[in-house]
Amino acid sequence: MDPRRIRNFSIIAHVDHGKSTLADRILQMTHAVSDREMREQFLDSLELERERGITIKASAVRVFYQAEDGETYVFNLIDTPGHVDFTYEVSRALAAVEGVLLVVDATQGVEAQTIANFYLALEHDHVIIPVINKIDLPNARPLEVAMEVEEVLGIPADEAIFASGKTGEGVKEVLEAIVKRIPPPKGDREAPLKALIFDSIYDAYQGVIPYLRLFEGQVRPGDRIRVWSTGKEFTVDRVGVFRPGGLEATPSLEAGEVGWLTAAIRDIHDVQVGDTLTLAQRPTDAPYPGFRPAKPVVFAGLYPVDSGDYQRLREALEKLKLNDAALFFEPETSEALGFGFRCGFLGLLHAEIVQERLEREFGLDLIATAPSVVYKVRLKSGEEVEIHNPADLPDPTRIEEILEPYVKLTVYTPEEYVGGIMQLVQEKRGRMRSMNYLPGKRVELVYEVPFGEILYDFHDRLKSLSRGYASMDYEQIGYQPGDLVKVTILVHGEPVDALAFVAHREKAYAIARSLVDKLAEVIPRQQFEVPIQAAIGGKIIARATVRALRKDVLAKCYGGDVTRKKKLLEKQKEGKKRLKAIGKVEVPQEAFLAVLSAGRDES
Ligand SMILES: Nc1nc2c(ncn2[C@@H]2O[C@H](COP(=O)(O)OP(=O)(O)OP(=O)(O)O)[C@@H](O)[C@H]2O)c(=O)[nH]1
């Protein structure tokens, strides 16, 4: 394949601005999919891509385009996920291309994720083609939006292409712009192999299939390949490219191309997204830069409601991990919840998706404990330990200091919301690093913030105080000491390990106060009074009470309405499914997550 005829690109957009619809139209206009085969969101329905309607994995497709200059070009379109939990994957996907289509809805204009994604593409030095989309709509204001793109992002308005993914208007121009504006891939095909793994899937027969962008060299069946970071070696069975119908084998892959290979790789750990593949006999001198393995940053406990399901949960986690390399788990025992697993995730959305998949695909009923960041503890003995579970924090007398993870938080916002955002970040113990005025009355704010502080409600509050216009991004920047304490929760006098949490000393009281009140609300009344207490060390700092039960549920249905009675009993039974008995007290799922909202939402 002549690299001068290759164009590798991604489509990026704010959610709902029409990314998938435009991709569909591109597939159709390049005859990759016949009109008969065409169905909406063609790429989304490629088996491995989507879960819950959110793209969580990057994916790729190759199409042929006959351009106006008479040449046929190969387009490799790499789809990207949108959520910040998967920024890691977006940035890997963007590493595999030379240019992007930045889709902006002509009725909405530039929005938060337009900016965040634009900056990601800019970081990679990519050619950015603005596509003002949905011009068929009566309230479209394409010229105005093109000006907005110029003011806010600094891309000249005359570079914008006006299009409608729905009617196909302007899409031909988009295809021509891809040919003319996006450069062909560089890279020496005679050099040693250097291939970036930007995604991978697991196939029951062929093992792990890494998705590759070749920067240098070539690879073909029979080659002995080496994984850069682990040094593991494999022999290549097949190589190929992505076609709309699935994987298609080719004789070789060369520098500039996007494709896949199989090499009987059985263990998903052996090839991680972001890693580099090279040849064993003739290795490249350096991996693709900036490699860091996807590292879980948020941990939570997952326990089967029915303790007999422990083995099934283990098997389900193992299977799921094949499809989700970032998922981490290890066995954990809780006094309150019994046998379960401590699981590590890339963020809260990732945690939610995993729990939902376990329940839906494997039919498990689970109790999840509140997600927590990873703390580090320096002990007086000089030893340093990582804490994945607040309950494991050593006795305070042994602790020299506790360190918490920090992130570099970048917020982009229209000027008028700066005051509110500064206040919010201060409340979250953030320290400003810089503030830059951008064209179009936009401001970039950069902070250092404890990760634990922005984990729960920060994004929602940022959105609501900026009417959806501010966008954020963050990256881990290491650990700093903090004045942190562990708060223990006692239910009916017994400490419940699964409810313990770590907080900044100054905030601990407010969170504890609000948490015990919430617990008192969600824990069902029992035959006896149940005190709920929060303590730091031996000192009780907050207390609430679940008053004793007086009536049973049926009491209010005096009279003879049998169906209502039945319904109530059924409802009660369903509620039971997610109750865990702690001592004599039944505690529902909500209780374990109550700390997420406790005392944090002061607004
Ligand atoms: N009128 C009109 N509607 C469009 C156009 N493009 C997309 N839409 C509609 O806008 C909505 C969102 O389009 P999608 O293509 O799913 O947008 P997306 O950016 O891929 O959204 P996510 O996949 O959720 O990130 C859908 O209801 C589309 O039918 C267009 O050019 N004109």
What's residue 48's pLDDT?
Answer: 33
Query: What are the beta bridge partners of residue 227?
Result: 277
- Residue 234 sits in a domain whose CATH number is 2.40.30.10
- How do beta strands 276-279 and 224-227 pair? antiparallel
Q: How many CB atoms are closer than 10 A to CB 206?
A: 18
- The answer to whether position 78 is within a domain reads yes
Mean pLDDT of 476-486: 93
Model confidence at 39, pLDDT cuts 50, 70, 90, reads low
Q: What is the pTM of this model?
A: 0.67
Q: Per-residue DSSP letters for 60-85?
A: EEEEEEE-TTS-EEEEEEEE---SGG
pLDDT at 101: 96
Q: What is the pLDDT of residue 586?
A: 78
Is residue 59 located within the same domain as residue 120? yes
Indicate if 26 and 149 belong to the same structural domain: yes
Question: Quick check: is 75 in a domain?
Answer: yes
Average pLDDT over residues 363-379: 90
**Domain range holding 465?**
375-482
Domain CATH code at residue 383: 3.30.70.240
CA distance 318 to 513: 39
Residue 290 has pLDDT above 70, yes or no: no
pLDDT value at position 603? 38
Of 369, 396, 413, the residue at which a domain comes to its end is: 369
Residue 216 has pLDDT above 90, yes or no: yes
Q: What percent of the chain has pLDDT over 70?
A: 86
Same domain? 81 vs 175: yes
**517 marked ligand binding residue:** no
Question: Is residue 194 over pLDDT 90?
Answer: yes
Segment 205-218 mean pLDDT: 91
CA of 24, closest atom in ligand 1: 15
Atom of ligand 1 nearest to the CA of 14: 19
Query: What is the CATH number for 323?
Result: 3.30.70.870
Angle, CA of 350, 353 and 359, to the nearest 5°: 145
Kindly state whether residue 404 falls inside one of the protein's structural domains.
yes
Mean pLDDT of the chain, nearest integer: 84
Check whether residue 104 and residue 214 sit in a common domain.
no
Q: What is the DSSP string of 518-544?
A: HHHHHSPP-SS-EEEEEEETTEEEEEE
Residue range 41-69: mean pLDDT, rounded: 60
Q: Could you tell me which residues come within 8 angstroms of residue 307 by beta carbon, excluding any fewer than 6 positions away?
A: 338, 339
- Return the residue whose CA atom lies nearest to atom 9 of ligand 1: 18
Residue to probe by mutation, ligand 1, list 12, 20, 21, 86, most atoms within 8 Å of CB: 21
Lowest mean per-residue pLDDT among 142-151, 459-468, 480-489: 459-468
Q: ∠ CA 145-148-152 to the nearest 5 degrees?
A: 145
Q: Which residues contact 460 (CB under 8 A, 6 or more apart)?
A: none
Helix (H) / strand (E) element for 349: namely: helix 348-362
Examine the domain organization and report whether 495 and 460 are in the same domain: no
Query: What is the pLDDT at residue 49?
Result: 38
Residue 163 lies in a domain: yes
Q: Are 77 and 26 in contact (CB under 8 A)?
A: yes
pLDDT at 79: 75
| Average pLDDT value for residue range 359-370 | 86
Do 472 and 501 have their domain in common? no
Is residue 352 within a helix (H) or strand (E), and if so which, with residue range? helix 348-362
Shared domain for 171 and 199, answered yes or no, is no
Percent of the chain at pLDDT > 90 equals 43
DSSP 370: P
**Do residues 168 and 158 touch, judged by C-beta distance below 8 A?**
no
- Region of poorest pLDDT, from 345-359, 477-491, 560-574: 560-574
Average pLDDT over residues 401-407: 94
Distance 14 CA to ligand 1 centre (A): 10
293 within domain boundaries = no
- Residue 552, φ and ψ in degrees, nearest 5: -95, 170
**Token pair for 447:** 């902070």
Number of Cβ atoms within 10 Å of the Cβ of 494: 14
CA of 326 to the centre of ligand 1 (A): 29
- Residue 286: name the closest of 209, 215, 190, 211 by CA: 215
Residue 14 assigned to a binding site: no
Report the candidate in 239, 203, 195 with the shortest Cα–Cα distance to residue 221.
Answer: 239
H-type alpha helices, 182-325: 310-323
Same domain, 328 and 355: yes
- Is 468 labelled as part of a ligand binding site? no
CA of 105 to the centre of ligand 1 (A): 9
401: enclosing H helix or E strand: strand 399-414
Contacts of residue 359, Cβ cutoff 8 Å, sequence gap at least 6? 365, 366
ipTM reported for the complex, 2 dp = 0.97
Name the residue with higher pLDDT: 584 or 153: 153
Domain boundary among 442, 463, 482: 482
Instruction: Give which of 485, 496, 494, 492 is closest to 334, Cα–Cα.
Output: 496
Average pLDDT score over residue span 382-395: 90
Query: What average pLDDT does range 544-569 have in this prediction?
Result: 63
Please give the pLDDT value at position 599.
Answer: 61
pLDDT exceeds cutoff 90 at 578: no
- At 451 the pLDDT is 92
Most confident range, picked from 36-40, 54-58, 396-400 = 396-400
Residue 603 lies in a domain: no
Query: Is 483 labelled as part of a ligand binding site?
Result: no
Same domain, 424 and 508: no
230 within 8 A of 196, measured Cβ to Cβ:
no
pLDDT digits (tens, 9 = 90+) for 520-556: 888 888 788 889 999 998 899 999 998 887 655 555 5
What residues form DSSP beta bridges with 438?
442
Span from the CA of 164 to the centroid of ligand 1 (angstroms): 10
Output 458-464 pairs: Cβ under 8 A, ≥24 positions apart. Answer: 458/424, 458/428, 459/84, 461/424, 461/601, 461/603, 462/411, 462/421, 462/424, 463/112
Per-residue pLDDT, averaged over 79-106, amounts to: 78
Q: What is the mean pLDDT of residues 57-66?
A: 78
* Minimal-distance CA residue to ligand 1 atom 23: 20
Residue 84: predicted pLDDT: 55
Q: How many domains does the chain have?
A: 5
Clarify whether residues 32 and 176 are in a common domain.
Answer: yes
pLDDT, greater one: 437 or 202: 437
Ligand 1 pocket check for 117: Cβ under 6 Å = no
Is the C-beta atom of 600 inside 6 A of ligand 1? no
Which of 19-33, 155-169, 502-516 is modeled with the greatest confidence?
A: 155-169
pLDDT of 124 reads: 86
DSSP 260-302: EEE--B--GGGS-TT-EEEESSS--SSPSTT-------EEEEE
| 125 marked as binding residue | no
- 558 inside domain: yes
Report, as an integer, the average pLDDT of 470-478: 82
* Pocket perturbation via mutation, ligand 1, pick of 20, 132, 171 by most ligand atoms within 8 A of CB: 20
pLDDT given for residue 430 in this prediction: 95
Q: Which residue has the higher pLDDT, 39 or 327?
A: 327
Ligand 1 neighbour 164 (Cβ under 6 A): yes
Within 10 A of 42 (CB to CB), how many other CB atoms are there? 20
Element (H, E) at 333: strand 328-334
Q: Is 125 left (phi over 0), alpha (psi -120 to 50) or beta?
A: left
Q: Which residues of 404-416 are buried (b: 16+ CB within 10 A; e: fewer)?
A: bbbbebbbbbbee
Which pLDDT score, from 0 to 100, does residue 314 have? Answer: 93
Classify residue 101 by burial, with Cβ atoms within 10 Å: 0-12, 13-18, 19+.
Answer: buried
Question: Is 513 in the same domain as 572?
Answer: yes
- pLDDT the model gives residue 204: 75
Is 55 annotated for ligand binding? no
**Within-domain flag for 199:** yes
**12 Cβ closer than 6 Å to some ligand 1 atom:** no
Say if residue 163 is exposed, middle or buried (CB neighbours under 10 Å; 0-12, 13-18, 19+). Answer: buried
User: Tell me, what CATH number does 125's domain have?
Assistant: 3.40.50.300
25 ligand 1 Cβ < 6 A: no
Report the number of secondary-structure helices (H) and strands (E) in the chain.
13, 36
Cβ neighbors of 403 (< 8 A, separation 6 or more) are 375, 376, 377, 378, 479, 480, 481, 482
Average pLDDT over residues 375-395: 92
- The residue from 369, 388, 416 where one domain ends is 369
Mean pLDDT value across residues 482-488:
93
495 shares its domain with 477? no
